[in-house]
Amino acid sequence: MTTLLDQPPTDTGGARSARSLVDAVFRAREISIAGALALLILFTWISNSRFLDDQGVKDLLLNASILVLLAVGQSVVVVTRNIDLSVGSVVGLSAFACGKFVAGSDHGVLTVLLLGIALGTVCGLVSGALVSFGRVPALVVTLGMLYIIQGLDYWWAQGEQISANDVPDAILRLGSGGVLGVPYLPLIALALLAATAYFLRSYRSGRELYAIGSNPEAARLAGVPIRRRVLGAYAFSGAVAGFAGALWLARFGTVVADNAHGWELTVVSAVVVGGVAITGGTGTVWGAALGALLLTTIGSALIVLKVDAFWQGAITGALLLAAISVDRIVSLRMTAALRKRSARHGNGA
């Protein structure tokens, strides 16, 4: 079997050129998503000017914040050629656990956030260990974890609901307050987004995640600790989901056992629509965040335009199919380009 280590040095230039072409295509997709988002906002504003008033913009940012956070965590897993379908259930468990913890108490914001992160990290480590060390397919593991965590949450809640009256004011202010008119939650999401993007671009361990997704065998031969990196990706995704659960409590105040139910597919859709290839190795968290913002804006726009909510799911599904089709076309073109360069090199040898 031919690997990247077996290829002659001149061939790496062709691979680099093909990879640059793919990256350019996905950057173009990010630009097109930003353009589509701008057009959607403009059209909705023309139809209803209140869509972009102070409260409308604030609501749009708040609604997108948690989905952006989850998309960032999911992206780190997807670039390794894996998937995490348990994030929605982790959010629900974390939100209820944090609500139960603070109900009728005076616990501080930091304590609640750390509790959510800890719960999510444990869930992520379990999934990551089964995928990386147990070699169980990620789809099977995370789908199983989804139902396990949901069942645990329902068993624990027993129909109980945590109301905003039980949550300390300091925590509720985190979800409703802001700085200079900008809510805290979008700022938190932006900070995590920027930090994750910097890590993936600037640190070797971050770049190794892309190497694993691009070619796991070549990454292994190059000495990349694949199991540890995949485990770390799942731990990060779980930690972000747990963190998002704590912020869910701060945002809404009232939590029940099935918070964020069904969000896992929305998160995956946001990531893939945003240019993170489902086959791994390509994409950025900035694109995933744009995908999350686009899907959230579509939902808000349909409400403003008084369009049946059914169309939100239909549009999301259509965007997901289109994104996967583009990924497949780009992958085939890259493979063909590499083969042509390899053939030319062989003829000239």
**What does the pLDDT average to over 315-319?**
76
Task: With residue 182 as reference, give the H or E element that holds it.
Answer: strand 182-183
Q: How confident is the model at residue 3 (pLDDT cuts 50, 70, 90)?
A: very low
- Residue 143 sits in a domain whose CATH number is 1.10.3470
CA 207 to the chain's CA centroid: 17
Q: How far apart are CA 69 and CA 194, in angstroms?
A: 11
Residue 232 lies in a domain: yes
* Residue 115 domain boundaries: 26-339
Residue 251 lies in a domain: yes
Residue 316 lies in a domain: yes
Residue 338 has pLDDT above 60, yes or no: no
Structural Rg of the chain based on CA atoms: 21
Residue 119 lies in a domain: yes
**What does the pLDDT average to over 301-307?**
80
Residue 19 lies in a domain: no
Task: With residue 296 as reference, give the H or E element that holds it.
Answer: helix 285-304
The domain total for the chain is 1
Amino acid at residue number 97? A
**What does the pLDDT average to over 198-213?**
93
Residue (of 64, 20, 27) closest to 275 by Cα position = 27
Please state, rounded to an integer, the average pLDDT across all residues of the chain: 84
Least confident stretch, 1-15, 191-205, 235-249, 269-283: 1-15
**What does the pLDDT average to over 178-206?**
93
Residue 2 lies in a domain: no
Q: What is the pTM of this model?
A: 0.85
**Each residue's pLDDT tens digit, 14-52:** 445 555 555 565 566 778 788 888 888 888 888 887 788
Amino acid at residue number 326? V
- Look at residue 184 in the predicted model and tell me its pLDDT: 93
- Look at residue 286 in the predicted model and tell me its pLDDT: 93
**Which residue did the predictor score with more confidence, 117 or 45?**
117
| Beta carbons within 10 angstroms of residue 59's beta carbon | 14
Q: Which two tokens stand for residue 224?
A: 């990349």
Q: How far apart are CA 162 and CA 319, in angstroms?
A: 36
Residue 305 lies in a domain: yes
**Each residue's pLDDT tens digit, 231-244:** 999 999 999 999 99
